[in-house]
Amino acid sequence: MHKPIIETSDLCFAYHDGKPALSEISLSILHGDSVGFIGPNGAGKSTLLMCFNGLLRPTSGTVRVDGLPVTESNLREVRRKVGWMAQDSNDQLFMPTLFEDVAFGPLNLGLPREEVLGRVEEALRQVGLSGFSDRAPSHLSGGERKAAAIATVLSMQPEVLLLDEPTNDLDHASRRALIDLLKRQPVTRVVASHDLELILDLCRRVVLFDRGRIVAEGPTEVVLGDVDLLRAHRLEAPLSLVLRR
């Protein structure tokens, strides 16, 4: 039986202005699972992802990663296990060359140079960017930048990938290439997105958020096929699923 890799219990989060963003979130994500977070703007999806790897700290409640509480003393190990890809690739591509960006995380782990070189080479190979090491990230296309951002995460060899709106601003071909790349990754995936076709294609289970709370969760086709539920939370069912029925 699969064990949880991420668990939250009664997690609440409020921003500095006191506005609550998450309320009483209790959730388990299992090793090897693929989970989609959906909901309207401001539902709390991105905030929860950032709580998972300690970028944000809950106001109350707990987060555990592989049994470890997400606390200051455990952040190094938590972030080794949980890789986060931001909505904007620019947040992860800030070095002069792609090699330096992909090597940044492993170097900060204090790994030997030979291991860092191997990790960079393998991460770039996995995302289809072998031979791009010396390129400036600013010279990459939109799809290549997304792939490069994933490479910066893969070089850390995480057990979990957190992906926030991964298909934003991608054309059809780049979007399909990204989906195929993500499907090949043998890790736990948590994907927050408004692209419900992506969620349908990539995720086994869906959690629906609204106003900082979980309002529904279940198998992807069941939740995304509930037209009335989605409309009640300002979402539309994926056309491909509607046409199938």
Residue span of the structural domain in which 19 resides: 4-244
pLDDT of residue 245: 66
Checking if the pLDDT of 23 tops 70, the result is: yes
User: What is the C-alpha separation between 94 and 209, in angstroms, rounded?
Assistant: 32
pLDDT in tens, 85-104: 988 888 889 999 999 999 99
Q: Which of 108, 113, 148 is nearest to 130 (CA)?
A: 148
Checking if the pLDDT of 240 tops 90, the result is: no
Contacts (Cβ under 8 Å, ≥6 apart) of 210: 39, 40, 43, 233
State the pLDDT confidence band at 109, using cuts at 50, 70 and 90. Answer: confident
pLDDT in tens, 111-169: 999 999 999 999 999 999 999 999 999 999 888 998 999 999 999 999 999 999 998 88
Instruction: Tell me the angle at which helices 142-154 and 98-108 cross, rounded to the nearest 10 degrees.
Output: 20
User: What is the C-alpha separation between 99 and 152, in angstroms, rounded?
Assistant: 9
Largest separation between any pair of C-alpha atoms in the chain: 55
Contacts (Cβ under 8 Å, ≥6 apart) of 161: 83, 85, 150, 153, 182, 185, 187, 188, 189, 190
Mean pLDDT of the chain: 93
Checking if the pLDDT of 1 tops 60, the result is: no
pLDDT in tens, 180-214: 989 988 999 999 999 999 999 999 999 999 999 99
Mean pLDDT value across residues 67-80: 93
CA distances from 61 to 24, 57, 58, 97, 171 (A): 8, 10, 7, 40, 40
Tally of structural domains, the chain: 1
Instruction: Tell me the CATH number at 222.
Output: 3.40.50.300
